[in-house]
Amino acid sequence: MRRGARNVARASKATARASKATARATGTGARRAYTLARKASHAEGAGESGLARLYELHALNAAGDSAVAVALAGTLFFQVPSGEARGQVALFLVLTMLPFAIMAPLIGPFLDRFRRGRRWAIGSTMAVRGFLCWVLADAVVSDSIGLFPAALGVLVASKAYHVTRSSAVPRLIPPGMMLVKVNGRMGLAGLAGAGISAPVALLAASFGSDWTLRYAFLLFVGGTILAILLPAKVDSSEGEEQVHYGEMGGGSRRSMGFGFTPTVVTGLRCNAGLRALSGFLTMYMAFVLRELPFSGWEDNKGVLLALVVGGAGTGGALGTVFGSWVRRFRPDLAVIVVLVADAAMAVLAAAFYGIWFAVALAVTVGFCQQLGKLSLDALIQNEIPEDVRTSVFARSETLLQLSWVVGGSLGIAMPLVPQLGLGVIAALLLALLVVVLRGRASLRRRQSRLERRPSQL
């Protein structure tokens, strides 16, 4: 008995030592990972300019959004009848995004009138999502009718965050750093935040979706605090000039003076198509995979949806990494190439619809959207004068977010016949490609005529 007790005691001590060693190793690894991440985010003057704090804010934003997606995956789409769900999503998408579309042109000039306006605007998009996550946590438990309004409110606030954040980015760029590099690192920060947060959200979901939403609430509260603590120059518009949306179409002497050359206008139009396709697939495939899962996946609809969503995330990560080379192969051509690639992949997915083509389409769309956006950033950096660059960057982000909504609305309205839906969106992308190419040629002719008549206004 004594010998057995001694053996148990020795085993317990050994286990305790092993646990302590594991804890030390884990702690050391976490500290090293944090140190490396902080060093990377503060590199090239980003720490001094305040850009590093914006990286951290964006990582929290992505972490919160991923937690909300995990929480709602099993409630919003899989527990409500399909017809009812599509109708409610369509209704609330129109009711919430229509005011946003009307007010978007007025937001920038309005915020410029107030001290700390933009920091509070970014913070409010975080605070609203935090509040709605707390509301959603109760709605999920009680099956409240507030589920859809709160969920769509989170979506709107997420879109508004991207618009308000876009106006802060150019004001925090350190001297000598390119906009395309900044947004590439911003994308990586978002991927890191989502990647770290998703397993935590899944763990919380094992206790109930409401706990995942409360975890998202904490993330958005932290994001609200970080937004308010951004440097004061985020609110400064000194020396900047505002650009109106009507001047972003090119073709006039004033718009050319603002740098809206045919290449920039082409980049905007191509990115609008890329973002519309992303919105379409997000809404359309969510319902298609729920109602018409692939053979053998009938009992794993959540896993199937996660596979497609994961493909889009993987494509976005690859696009971010590949974006570091965008200047080597001309961003003005890259925006057209990625639109062609999206259209071609949509045609293939419609013709040979199946699980692997669906995943391949998701990867392609994620890759092309990210690479197209980085290419547009490079064009804005190269072509747009510095005094209007912040305004153009914010306006372009607003247009892209609204393009996503248009695509998402089309995805909700489209019949749940995969070959038909994907065929229609492929045809629309091909039509847009023709419009983009013809429009670029027309703008170049117009630019040439204006350059030959410099004295005429």
- As a whole number of angstroms, the distance between CA 398 and CA 278 comes to 15
- As a whole number of angstroms, the distance between CA 108 and CA 394 comes to 8
Question: What pLDDT does residue 120 have?
Answer: 84
Name the residue ranges covered by the structural domains of the chain.
50-238, 242-457
pTM of the model: 0.74
Question: What pLDDT does residue 8 have?
Answer: 47
**Domain range 50-238, CATH class:** mainly alpha
How far is residue 136 from each of residues 89, 95, 200, measured CA to CA in Å? 15, 19, 18
Structure tokens at 192: 């890191």
The tens-digit pLDDT sequence of the chain (457 residues) is 555 545 545 544 554 454 454 445 434 443 454 455 566 566 666 667 778 888 899 999 999 988 888 887 656 555 555 555 566 666 655 655 555 555 555 555 555 555 457 788 889 889 999 999 998 888 887 777 777 778 878 877 887 788 788 777 877 888 877 777 787 788 888 888 888 888 898 888 888 888 999 999 999 999 999 998 888 877 766 655 666 555 555 555 555 555 567 788 888 899 999 999 998 988 888 788 877 787 777 777 667 777 887 888 888 888 887 876 655 667 888 899 999 999 999 999 999 988 889 999 999 999 999 889 888 888 887 777 766 777 777 778 778 878 888 888 888 888 888 899 999 999 999 999 999 888 887 777 776 666 666 544 4
Contact indicator for 205, 212 with CB cutoff of 8 Å: yes
Residue 444 CB-density burial (10 A; 0-12 exposed, 13-18 middle, 19+ buried): middle
Contact indicator for 155, 72 with CB cutoff of 8 Å: no
Question: What pLDDT does residue 76 have?
Answer: 54
**Domain range 242-457, CATH class:** mainly alpha
How far is residue 334 from each of residues 42, 325, 430, measured CA to CA in Å? 29, 11, 16
Tokens 């170049």, located at residue: 444
- As a whole number of angstroms, the distance between CA 147 and CA 142 comes to 10
Q: Do the first three CATH levels of 50-238 and 242-457 match, i.e. the same topology?
A: yes
HEC secondary structure over the chain: CHHHHHHHHHHHHHHHHHHHHHHHHHHHHHHHHHHHHHHHHCHHHHHHHCHHHHHHHHHHHHHHHHHHHHHHHCCCCCCCCHHHHHHHHHHHHHHHHHHHHHHHHHHHHHHHCCCCHHHHHHHHHHHHHHHHHHHHHHHHHHCCCCHHHHHHHHHHHHHHHHHHHHHHHHHHCCCCCCHHHHHHHHHHHHHHHHHHHHHHHHHHHCCCHHHHHHHHHHHHHHHHHHHHCCCHHHHCCCCCCCCCHHHHHCCCHHHHHCCCCHHHHHHHHHHHHHHHHHHHHHHHHHHHHHHCCCCCCCCCHHHHHHHHHHHHHHHHHHHHHHHHHHHHHCHHHHHHHHHHHHHHHHHHHHHCCCHHHHHHHHHHHHHHHHHHHHHHHHHHHHHCCHHHHHHHHHHHHHHHHHHHHHHHHHHHHCCCCHHHHHHHHHHHHHHHHHHHHHHHHHHHHHHHHHHHCCCCC
How far is residue 248 from each of residues 26, 320, 355, 393, 449, measured CA to CA in Å? 52, 26, 40, 11, 19
Hey, how many other C-beta atoms are within 10 angstroms of the C-beta on 354?
A: 12
